[in-house]
Amino acid sequence: MDFQFNFAVDENENSETDADFLLLCSPKHKQESKEKSRENADPAADSSPKLAPAKHQDETAPEKNHCVKAAKEHSIPEDLNKVLENKVMETVLDLSHVKLSVVEMTCSGDADSEGIVSKSVSSHSDLIPGVYEGGLKIWECTFDLMDYFSEAEIEFTNKTVLDLGCGAGLLGIAALRGEAARVHFQDYNSTVIDEITLPNVVANCTSEGRRMSSGKDRKASKPPSKKPRKAEGSPDMLNRCRFFSGEWSQVSQLLLNSNKPCSKYDVILTSETIYNPDYYSALHDTLAQLLDRNGRVYLASKVHYFGVGGGIYLFEKFIEEKNVFRTSMVKTIDQGLQRCIMEIAFKNTC
């Protein structure tokens, strides 16, 4: 039996994020024109995340290596209307997603038990290490990776997929549309999962199940609409999903040691998760623990994250030193701040 649910879509406003949150990289970079659809969907494009001022970090973040954020599995409510209640939706690349600027303005109280929205706004920051890790934005490398799925004809059919550091969850939703057998979504913050990821997955799990189109058609962002929209949710599609929050190592342990252990993943998708070198060891260990022996990781990143310190080549060097995985740069994007897509696999595998 299909679920029925309604949600509203804003017709008059473009997708916005507070420009004060962004760290612009250079005068030349500021002058770079952006593709119109990406500009509407992702004003955070062509920028590096801006860290909270040191004072704010001292007040809110745990001491480095002192504690970790516990893992939690988030259940899918039976009443899907509740998931989309009061959500304003818009569409990009044929996918619906929650209007993030509205979440920033309206998410408070029990809906933001972690306090990440208020802390992010008050500190004018995209990152507060150990508190908030950027999931309230859709960063441009997400779109780079989605383009690559189409260009390289990445196959998701019957695969088990993990969207690691998922934020809006668009990568995992693309895998669902590609007939993945199972898709799990993980983000550091529980507020992101409950208020952004889960609503996005529900909004896109329609019985129509439109497949992601390719080429120029995918680059056209549909104008938002304020008219109420009705859709039929597919229980089968939602039943293929699980949602987790918490630090990577804790989520790995939950997945591998719970009373509902899961098999390892054929594909792990991750975008803009290597901005902070302090996290490289945890990320590397998580990939080593959760990736199937013949699986693949597709990682999208900027070459360098100004003001934060990480970047694609630094992480590549880290991987080489660990001598567990082999890597290949499968795509480089030179528009604006240079970005890359890296494929990662275990050594001595086909």
Higher pLDDT, 192 or 103: 192
Range in 118-132, 253-267, 281-295, 325-339 the model is least confident about: 118-132
What are the E-state strand segments in the chain? 3-9, 22-23, 48-49, 72-74, 88-92, 95-98, 160-164, 182-187, 229-233, 241-245, 265-271, 291-302, 325-333, 339-346
Q: For residue 165, which phi and psi values (nearest 5 degrees)? A: 70, 50
Confidence at residue 230, expressed as pLDDT on a 0 to 100 scale: 44
pLDDT at residue 118 in the model: 81
**pLDDT tens, position by position, 236-250:** 789 999 999 999 999
Give pLDDT, residue 345: 98
DSSP state of 8: E
The answer to which of 43-57, 119-133, 139-153, 302-316 has the lowest mean pLDDT is 43-57
- Closest C-alpha to 177, from 199, 209, 143, 142: 209
What pLDDT is recorded for position 38? 53
- pLDDT for the residue numbered 33: 38
For residues 195 and 238, give the distance between their C-alpha atoms in angstroms, rounded to a whole number. Answer: 16
Q: Which residues on neighbouring strands pair with residue 299, listed in sequence order? A: 270, 342
- The answer to whether the CB of 97 falls within 8 A of the CB of 168 is yes
Name, in order, each residue with C-beta under 8 angstroms of 114's C-beta and a sequence gap of 6 or more.
Answer: 131, 132, 189, 190, 191
Average pLDDT over every residue of 325-329? 98
Per-residue confidence (pLDDT) for residue 51, from 0 to 100: 59
Q: Whole-angstrom Cα distance, residue 154 to residue 171?
A: 12
Closest to 171 in 3D by CA, of 249, 102, 180: 180
d(CA 131, CA 38): 28
Greatest mean pLDDT among 105-119, 248-262, 321-335 lies in 321-335
pLDDT of residue 26: 39
Between 215 and 32, the more confident residue is 32
Mean pLDDT on 1-20: 42
Q: 85-94, 98-107, 168-177, 303-312: which has the minimum mean pLDDT?
A: 98-107
Model confidence at 1: pLDDT above 80: no
Rounded-to-integer distance, Cα 123 and Cα 126, Å: 9
pLDDT at 338 over 90: yes
Residue pLDDT, tens place only, 74-102: 999 988 888 888 889 999 888 999 998 88
Of the two residues 106 and 154, the one the predictor is more confident about is 154
What is the DSSP-derived secondary structure letter of residue 19? G
At residue 67, the pLDDT reads 62
What span, in angstroms and rounded, lies between the C-alpha atoms of 141 and 270? 9
Residue-averaged pLDDT of the chain: 79
Q: Determine the pLDDT at residue 146.
A: 97
The answer to whether residue 35 scores a pLDDT higher than 80 is: no
CA distance 271 to 260: 27
pLDDT band at residue 261 under the 50/70/90 scheme: low
What pLDDT band is residue 106 in, cutting at 50, 70 and 90?
A: confident
DSSP symbol at 307:
T
Q: Looking at residue 85, what is its pLDDT?
A: 86
The Cα 335–Cα 97 span in angstroms is 25
Residue written as tokens 């299909």?
Answer: 2
**Domain regions of the chain by residue span:** 77-207+236-346
pLDDT band at 198 (very low <50, low <70, confident <90, very high): very high
Predicted local distance difference test score (pLDDT) of residue 217: 42
**In this structure, which topology does domain 77-207+236-346 adopt according to CATH?**
Rossmann fold (3.40.50)
**pLDDT computed for residue 52 by the predictor:** 54
pLDDT at 325: 98
Confidence band for 11, pLDDT divided at 50, 70 and 90: very low
